[in-house]
Structure 1
Amino acid sequence: MDDSLLNQIAFTQIPSIGPVTRKLLLEAFESVENIFSAAVADLCAVKGVREKMAREIKAFLPNEKTKEMLQFIQQHRIVPLFITDPGYPQKLKECPDAPTLLFYKGTAHLNAVKIISIVGTRMPTAYGYHIIETLLKALPKEVLIVSGLALGIDTIAHQLALENGLQTIGVLAHGLDEIYPPPNKNLAKAMIPQGGLLTEFHCNTIPEKYNFPKRNRVVAGMADATLVIETALKGGSIITADFASQYHRDVIAVPGRITDQRSRGCNKLIQENRASIYTNPEDLLQQLNWVPAFAPLNETEKKCIAFLKTKELFSQDELLAFTQLSFGELASLIFDLEMKQIIQVLPGNQLTLMPAYYSI
């Protein structure tokens, strides 16, 4: 039995100690073992620790729930990430109320250089779907998409990330022994080999109402930016945006019609300067300094880009007529352009220029 992990799990189960105090204790004593062995007086020297709390720490021992969680981790190959572990999400670690211990099932690198959280209403419109669809087609493949696995915008973000070859993480408001909402069980399963599932909650933790704001702070804290798409004036998306602001992360909102209830929250975020306005993928990439480093282009490729800018879709026959290449040479050119992520080949052998190349 892993005594170190058992102690870490037990440390998160002490009822009166929250993530802020746990972080201060770890900064003072460096390890859970040192905290459990410290004198009451030394524990009380830490900001926010009262004598009653210190005595509760001293009296607390691993119990059946602690051992149950350890067994669950081992049986289901869950990756535990203590806040001092190198694999713990470093952007999240910067937040004062970062979870002390995370449980992870997946393959994505949680310390990806580029991470964006996408949140919004559970009742999206075709407009919201279109915004996510065009954005995720334009994002560089190394961008990690984070959301909360809720119905609506979250689900769309996860699904379209998978379809566009992007890794995506679902942050849960419950333990990894279940998936909520139930309709997203298959989606969650599909995300594990191309992203993953992350939670701070132990097994047998049900998705109670007060767990969702805790989940939302992780969604905000993990990312460089939070994009809000369609939300009312109140709700989880606004809470996530507020957390992102508190953590000094970019908040970006998609504007909508002033008569649309599902856009009132986004419009108000923009109106109050709590969020910058989203207009298109290129501007977002510029704002976050995520503009791709373009591969060197030869003269034929430059001419093709200029030609492909003139309308949205082209057939291969149109490109053949423009370039005057042989069929073999054209096939090689299309392959090279696709590998450099300059074009996207669509069903029916239609071609479209990737959004980032409209600006060059």
Structure 2
Amino acid sequence: MSDQELFYLLALLRVEGVGDIMAKKLLFHFQNAQAVFNATNAQIAAIDGIGAVLLKNFKSKTIFEKANAELTFIKSNNIKVAFFQDEHYPERLKHCYDAPVLIFTAGNIDLKNKKIISIVGTRQITSYGTEFCKKLIEDLAPLDPVIVSGFAYGVDIVAHQLAIENGLQTVGVLAHGLNQIYPKNHKKYMAKIEENGGFITEFWSSTNPDKENFVRRNRIVAGMSEATIVIESADKGGSLITANLANDYNRDVFAVPGRVTDKYSQGCNNLIKIQKANVLTSAADLIYILNWDIEKKTKPIQKQLFVTLEPEEQKIYDFLIKNGKELLDSIALQCDFPIFKISGMLLNMELKGVIRPLPGKLFEAI
């Protein structure tokens, strides 16, 4: 991305009232951010959701001043920027309707490895939670997953540290800009994390770690991961918000069960009880549900000589033959079908015996 393209994207995101969803709507319509600012009032007003007040905000003199200041910060501090349509933007996060238009990263993050999991939980982690997390990450290490968390006290920082100890890449998702660190006590961990992964944020350098930013941060933690694991949680807390977001994004959620009398097992036990999380008793549970232990088979040829597929079904079948196991939302995105429609088509294809569902909400051609 050129500096000019980034400048206009930053400017668009500084328009008061333009969030990620509206920004995407404008970008899809006008093709790029500069074209939005070159458009007439009538052209912008024709976009659904643009009212008179929002239209007026495009004329604010501070938009470009703030964009220029942030661009200067980015260039001066070697911050990497990913646009939501870029190849190096987290693939699963692209599929979330409210994903950030831009994310800013520091360190040596490489997300080409598709095994990405988030580990979250209470800030008051117990010895039970620590020991479980240690055993889990040690057992998963041979599969080389990326461990994502929120760099907070408790479960988060334990997960980051254990990932590093086991030679795994780890990513801290921040609730503030990259010009600071929160909590300040965790500054001592920054260098190791940047060496073995790095940090991601959607927030500008002018953004402080305010309470509401942690909730927004959680959607990135949930959205970029294949699965979210809750190690320990009381009956309320940020990790439960992350778990709910993961469910909303059609991701797998796991919770570590505990004694009903333990305060920091109540949230996990409840997630399991209301069937919003799979029971996680060992790494084997996660490996099975996510289908990580099943090696890719040689791609088969057309299943049956006399099976007749509709053109749209054939498109899906050909996609699965080419790509192997794929998530439902990935099939919908790549084959250009809405989720509500593709669910029915996949069921019909399963009944015809040409595809089969797998653990982890995956499908493959037979």
Same fold (TM over 0.5): yes
Task: Name the structure 2 match of 1:99.
Answer: 100
Cα distance in 2 for residues equivalent to 1:60 and 1:111? 40
Aligned to 2:167: 165
- What is the aligned partner in structure 1 of residue 198 from structure 2? 196
Tell me by how many angstroms 1:37 deviates: 1.6
Could you tell me how far apart the structure 2 residues matched to 1:121 and 1:88 are? 28
Query: Shift of residue 33 of structure 1?
Result: 1.2
Mapped contact 2:176–2:208 kept (Cα < 8 A): yes
Instruction: Please state how far the C-alpha of 1:55 moved relative to its aligned partner.
Output: 3.3
2:30 maps to amino acid? F
In the aligned structure 2, how far is the partner of 1:39 from the partner of 1:94? 31
What is the CA-CA distance between 1:57 and the residue it aligns to? Answer: 2.6
Q: List structure 1 runs of 4+ shifted beyond 6 angstroms.
A: none
- Equivalent residue number for residue 233 of structure 2: 231
Instruction: Provide closer, same or farther for how the CA distance between residues 14 and 62 of structure 1 changes in structure 2, counting only shifts above 3 A.
Output: closer
1:85 aligned partner: 86
- Residue 68 of structure 1 aligns to which amino acid in structure 2? A
1:10 and 2:11 are equivalent in the alignment = yes
Residue 151 of structure 1 corresponds to 153
User: After the TM superposition, which of the residue ranges 279-288 and 36-45 deviates more from structure 2?
Assistant: 36-45
Output the CA distance in 2 between the equivalents of 1:149 and 1:97.
22
Match of 1:25 in 2: 26
Contact between 2:255 and 2:269, CA under 8 Å: does it hold in 1? Answer: yes
Which residue in the other structure is 1:275 paired with? 277
Instruction: Tell me by how many angstroms 1:21 deviates.
Output: 1.2
Structure 1 residues 248 and 166: alpha-carbon distance in aligned structure 2, compared to 1, 3 A threshold: same
Q: Deviation at 1:13?
A: 1.4
Q: Is the 8 A contact 1:145 1:167 kept in 2?
A: yes
1:182 aligns with 2:184: yes
Letter in 2 for 1:82: F
Contact 1:278–1:284 (CA under 8 A) maintained in structure 2: yes
The CA deviation at 1:58 is: 4.9
Cα contact 1:36–1:58 (8 A) shared by 2: no
- Secondary structure in structure 2 of the residue aligned to 1:227: strand
CA deviation string 1:64-120 (max 9, x = no partner): 332221111111111011212221112111111101111100112134311000000
1:56 is displaced (CA, Å) by 2.0
**Which stretches in structure 1 are left out of the alignment for 5+ residues?**
295-360
Judge conservation of contact 2:221–2:242 (CA < 8 Å) in 1. yes
Cα distance change, pair 60–224 in 1 and its aligned pair in 2 (3 A):
farther
Cα drift, residue 137 of structure 1: 0.9
Q: Does residue 212 of the first structure (1) align with residue 214 of the second (2)? A: yes
Amino acid at match of 2:40: A
| Structure 2 unmatched runs, 5+ | 297-366
TM-score by length of 1: 0.78
Partners of 1:36 and 1:195 in 2: CA distance: 36
Say which SS state the counterpart of residue 197 (structure 1) adopts.
strand
> Counterpart in 1 of 2:361?
none
- Using a 3 Å threshold, how does the CA distance of structure 1 residues 293 and 130 change in structure 2: closer, same or farther? farther
Q: Equivalents in 1 of 2:41, 2:53: separation in Å? A: 9
How far apart in 2 are the matches of 1:141 and 1:279?
18
In 1: Cα distance, 2:294 partner to 2:198 partner: 25
Could you tell me the percent identity over the aligned residues? 45
SS at match of 2:208: coil
Superposed displacement of residue 141, structure 1 = 4.5
Aligned amino acid, residue 155 of structure 1: I
Q: Is the 8 A contact 1:12 1:101 kept in 2?
A: no
Match of 1:265 in 2: 267
Q: Is the 8 A contact 2:16 2:54 kept in 1?
A: no
Count of paired positions: 294
Hey, what's the Cα distance between the residues in 2 that align with 1:96 and 1:111? Answer: 22
Distance 1:130 1:105 in 2: 30
Deviation at 1:226, TM superposition (A): 0.4
Distance 2:234 2:43 in 1: 47
The question of whether the paired residues in 1 share the 8 Å contact of 2:230 and 2:255 is answered with yes
How far the C-alpha of 1:292 sits from its partner, in A, is 6.8
Distance 1:29 1:15 in 2: 19
